């Protein structure tokens, strides 16, 4: 092709058709430039596709990490929620000396020194941050959401666990220094002196309250926020790289949007005849429950009237009158149903 253009130019030049020669030469140059630009476009497009596929591969790794972290956060939540319930039993004064003996008794004896740490799986996010220069602009919302999870939420969770670990280690040091029975208790020997301390010592109950504040009042809401943000991040990634695909069972029942007016209509106190009360509150976007003497927990909407909490294994359905007034809700937890009437 190039030799053909060259012969045509030479023919025009030898025939003294200078103007035609110049036009022809310019046209030839333009064709070459256009060819180069097309080749560059194809090459750039190919590179962009390669970059996008690389980013999608990393995001799949991030999704795997998110699932691991959400699952572990639920386990940790349940661990400290159980400790919270046990502490409430201690405060109730309903425990007997025999409750502190045996395998189950060790739970009561280790309330202020038991730990369940949380380690993030963030290799995928770190890999993504090393490749920010090739992330397509349309992935901006995903990147921002992941930063909320692995920078903001991670810092809050790690700060809480540092406080819990510091408190637990301090309690172990205090017991070792001040109580001769500590080594026996650590080996499973429960004496009357050990039981007396854990049942009646007022300073021990102060320590229980401190632990409850640090490990439940502070930590549990942070873990719930993390689960919500991590689920949102996973969903955003799925919408981009696997649109239409079903979410994993662990995430498939996360909350849908419910109007602020509807959420506010549920606010109030509800109780069962046995005396247990649950207070329902909202911040305008989320719905929260708080049972008597328990920490506040968030519940997630399946519909305008049905909510659940996967950590607690609980579901609740609000019952409305024909006029649309909220009169009660049915709570199902562990196969047990309780009807809470609005006060």
Residues of the chain short of pLDDT 70, as ranges, are 1-29, 31-32, 35, 37, 39-46, 48, 252-255, 311
What are the backbone angles phi and psi of residue 339, rounded to the nearest 5°? -100, 120
Say what the pLDDT of residue 177 is: 94
Say what the pLDDT of residue 58 is: 95
> Would you say how long the chain is, in residues?
343
What are the backbone angles phi and psi of residue 317, rounded to the nearest 5°? -125, 125
3-state secondary structure of 207: helix
Determine the Cα–Cα distance for residues 280 and 298; give it in Å rounded to an integer.
10
Determine the Cα–Cα distance for residues 100 and 109; give it in Å rounded to an integer.
7
The residue with tokens 């039993």 is: 89
Say what the pLDDT of residue 146 is: 97
| Partner residues linked to 291 by β-bridges | 278
Determine the Cα–Cα distance for residues 67 and 75; give it in Å rounded to an integer.
13
Nearest to 87 by CA among 206, 222, 186: 206
How far separated are the first and last CA of the chain, in Å rounded? 90
Structure tokens at 179: 């109580």
CB 325 within 8 A of CB 341: no
Say what the pLDDT of residue 21 is: 47
The Cβ of residue 274 has, within 10 Å, a number of other Cβ atoms equal to 6
The residue with tokens 């998110």 is: 66
Say what the pLDDT of residue 250 is: 77
Q: What is the pTM of this model?
A: 0.70
| Partner residues linked to 329 by β-bridges | 318, 340
- Domains of the chain are 68-241 (no CATH), 260-342 (2.40.128.50)
Q: Which residues contact 194 (CB under 8 A, 6 or more apart)?
A: 100, 109, 181, 184, 185
Determine the Cα–Cα distance for residues 175 and 151; give it in Å rounded to an integer.
36
Q: Which residues contact 40 (CB under 8 A, 6 or more apart)?
A: none
3-state secondary structure of 149: helix
User: Beta 314-320 vs 326-333: how paired, if at all?
Assistant: antiparallel
In degrees, rounded to 5, the angle at the alpha carbon of residue 292 between the alpha carbons of residues 289 and 296 is 35
């Amino acid at each position: 092709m190039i030799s053909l253009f060259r012969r045509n130019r030479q023919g025009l030049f030898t025939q003294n058709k200078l103007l035609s020669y110049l036009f022809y030469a310019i046209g030839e140059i333009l064709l070459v430039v256009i060819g180069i630009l097309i080749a560059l476009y194809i090459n750039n497009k190919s590179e962009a596709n390669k970059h996008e596929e690389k980013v999608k591969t990393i995001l799949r790794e991030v999704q795997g990490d998110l699932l691991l972290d959400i699952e572990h956060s639920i386990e940790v939540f349940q661990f400290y929620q159980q400790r919270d319930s046990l502490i409430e039993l201690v405060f109730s004064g309903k425990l007997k000396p025999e409750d502190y003996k045996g395998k189950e008794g060790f739970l009561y004896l280790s309330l202020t020194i038991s730990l369940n740490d949380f380690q993030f799986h963030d290799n995928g996010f770190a890999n993504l941050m090393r490749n920010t220069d090739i992330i397509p602009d349309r992935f901006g919302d995903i990147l921002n959401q992941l930063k909320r999870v692995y920078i903001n939420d991670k810092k809050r969770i790690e700060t809480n666990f540092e406080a819990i670990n510091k408190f637990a280690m301090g309690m172990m040091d205090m017991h070792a220094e001040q109580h001769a029975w500590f080594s026996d208790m650590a080996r499973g020997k429960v004496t009357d002196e050990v039981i007396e301390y854990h049942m009646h010592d007022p300073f021990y109950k102060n320590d229980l309250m401190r632990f409850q504040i640090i490990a439940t009042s502070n930590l549990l809401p942070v873990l719930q926020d993390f689960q919500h943000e991590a689920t949102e991040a996973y969903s955003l990634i799925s919408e981009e790289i696997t649109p239409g695909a079903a979410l994993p069972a662990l995430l498939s029942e996360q909350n849908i949007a419910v109007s602020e007016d509807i959420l506010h209509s549920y606010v109030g106190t509800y109780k069962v005849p046995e005396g247990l009360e649950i207070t329902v509150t909202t911040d305008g976007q989320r719905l929260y429950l708080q049972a008597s003497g328990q920490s506040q927990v968030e519940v997630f909407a399946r519909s305008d009237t049905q909510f659940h909490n996967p950590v607690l294994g609980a579901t609740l359905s609000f019952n409305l009158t024909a006029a649309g007034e909220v009169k009660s809700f049915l709570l199902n937890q562990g196969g047990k149903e309780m009807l809470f009437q609005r006060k």
